[in-house]
Amino acid sequence: MFVAATQFAPVAGDIDANVRTIAGLVRAAGAEGARVVVFSELSLTGYEPSLIRDVPGLALTEDDPRLQPVRDACRAAGAAAVVNGPVRTAGSGAGITTLVIGPDGSLLTRYDKQHLYGIEAEVFEPGSGDGRFALDGVRFALATCYDNRFPELAERAASDDCAVYLASSVLGADNDSFEKVYPVRARDFGLYVVLGNVLGANEDGVGCGRAGAWGPDGERIADAGAEEPGFVLAEVR
């Protein structure tokens, strides 16, 4: 199976523009054989917690009509999209939520980021459960950015027979996760780790790209580079 790790510069607060970009990347990656396409943290709105706090309309629902172009792209490409944004919870708030939209356009699972960082704790509600889905006999685990600093998430994924650990993140060039987190999670728990990251300015700084993947031995097997938007394919088994 091929998984696509993506990177682009989201437009702050413009869900429609970001959905168009996401849908285009799903179609393009699917045309090259990807069955799963992974996007960055808050790819639907940009990483803009303060803006999300101040503009309630930026919170989505699981069946939000604004996501229809992504559902259509998944069906056309025969690929699942792992997209992240502010999604309403059962209470009055929203999580930093990954929605996995399947190749038939249906919702395969939802995962709410468990470990909130900095201002996130003032804006969002933390999740309490792990994210899992299966496709073509491969079992996937979900984690979001700061979650990856906590090795127990990857440990539980491995214990739960997951082969691939999908990380939706917002990382700058000075972040040590490329050396001290993602390859370590892969090597310590025998997982493929696939990272979706951002480009461009955001509330946290400047995204540095380098989306890609590490194999179960901790070695890089795919790297999208630091400059160009797009995706890179990683083969997982």
- Residues with Cβ < 8 Å from 114, sequence gap 6 or more? 126, 127, 128, 147, 150, 153
Kindly tell me if the per-residue pLDDT of 7 is higher than 90: yes
pTM: 0.96
Buried b (16+ CB within 10 A) or exposed e, 86-117: bbbbeeeebbbbbbbbbbebeebbbbbbbbbb
- Cα separation of 102 and 124, whole Å? 25
**Predicted pLDDT of residue 203:** 94
**Rounded mean pLDDT, 5-30:** 98
Radius of gyration of the chain (CA): 16
**Percent of the chain beyond pLDDT 90?**
98
- Cα separation of 175 and 43, whole Å? 19
**Predicted pLDDT of residue 9:** 98
